[in-house]
Structure 1
Amino acid sequence: MPLLIAPVFNSMTTQPIRIELPNAYYLISGAERPYEIASRYLRNEMDENKRIFDSRVNRNSLFLVAEHAEMKVTDDRPWIEEIENKLNLSAIDGTCSIPYVLTINGNMCGITYLKRSLDGSKFEFDEATQNVFERLINHQLPSLAFRRYSLSLEKKSNEDQLLDLWIALESLFAPDGKKGEITYKLRVRMAYYFGESYAQRQKIAQFVKKSYNHRSEIVHSGKMFGNKLTDEVNTLRLMARATILNTAMHGISLQDMRVRLDELILTGETYAQRYAPSYFESIIL
């Protein structure tokens, strides 16, 4: 049966990995054969500069591997993209990508091009990242927020990243907001979700108001902020990531989360204190 190998570009591990995935796939590292095959067949056939392969794939990279019934990758494309996105969601830092898939059958090799490899800092698949990823494998994630979070990693400009992240955060915290009240709902709900004290909530609310104003300026007047947005975008990414993970791991719907947040406004308690979720990542500004 043909062997399918998809190198996870820009990834690194410090010890051998072997994780069983759905659809008869495995995520592995530290095995010689996947790297040798990928290096032999893919390196000189890439749509990108072949030096990219040498800088982003090595023996300690992650590889997606499976026995495959056909030489063509068809229905597996969306699932491979989902694995890439869940890997990126699992780590706080670093960006990986799965741009090519090889199918090997004897002496024959087929190469399926999926996308350009993503830029970003090295994606380290350490123990903490692995623990999050393994918990995510079979979880359904908030679709719009998850998709926009992933798309933000592909964008070059801070402005485009900020817009994607605000679409994700709006879908999480204020899809029920009407014109004129969206900013208010975002400020209050996000402040009570992440803030553990009045001072923290006030700081978060001010950050949300300022950042959402930047979003409006970009959308309505095309204003460019450049590197001034870097820290802001990083904070928005942490907020979106934490919320997606928290809701998925805790098994709570977004509607229930928003109802809880509106109740907290009356009680003054923190989200983690009141509901004691089994998994909860917080953000401190």
Structure 2
Amino acid sequence: MSAVPEPPLLLLLLPLALLALQEADVQRNEQSELQKVESVRRIARREGKLGKKRSVLLVPVESLLLARSSLCHGACVEVDSDTEAVASRGFKLGCISCKMRGEVRAIASVDWYFKASDETVSSHIYRYEYNSEEIVDTRFYDRLEWAGSKQTKDLQDGSIYIRNVTFNDTGVYNCTIKRTLMYPNYEFETHNSKIVTVKVVPRLTRGIASILSEVMMYVSIIGLQLWLVVEMIYCYRKIAAAGEEALRESAAEYLAIASESKDNCASEQVAESLPPSSPHDGTWIHKPGKT
């Protein structure tokens, strides 16, 4: 039987180990939160038993966790907009401008400008400011809608959505976010612009990066499956070899026991077949002499 090289198991076990560590970390955090809440409850019960000098409100675990989660805020990440739109479909023009100082109050407004492929000057097409939107250009009437930040005056996402895209929508779009930072003693105004060049195509075409990523995904899946098959075959052959070795050892032990038993039986049979002792065996026999 030819030896099969053992593939490294570390790469297969590493994702499982990382997942187990993450689950253990989450459970540890939950247990610490529960211990804190339980300590608060014990203190409240102790104070209530000492004469009820102060009224203590026992807060349930869910309320404390909700209060803690309410203090968390989502992070802002500036992502480039898509640039290829499909005719007769909807398209989102992305425009994200993150505020660097999250603790400073601010008020922002968003203006969009458009310059077609056969034009030289940009035209003002859309304006948004705290739940108030205005479509300025008649070419986009009933086709533009707000897709950015809502229910806030501090706009960080100024994206808009174009319905029923046409080939005339090909061109350069300019998004300008005007933000006013309100400090205790003064106000500071900033301007941030994003330029998006949009190309309208009859149907969606896939980029090289998308195709390569999909190919690499399938290659990795097939490679992992083949690796798993090789590992299973290796384990099976290793177990089978160990079983055969155990069978050979058992058979050798059985044969040794059987041979020993046969030798004992043969010696007993030989001893039983011998005749009783006679004078010719060399044994001295006393004869009475003549007087």
Fold-level match, TM-score > 0.5? no
Choose 1 or 2 for highest CA Rg. 2
Structure with greater helix share of residues? 1
Normalising by structure 2, what TM-score? Answer: 0.21
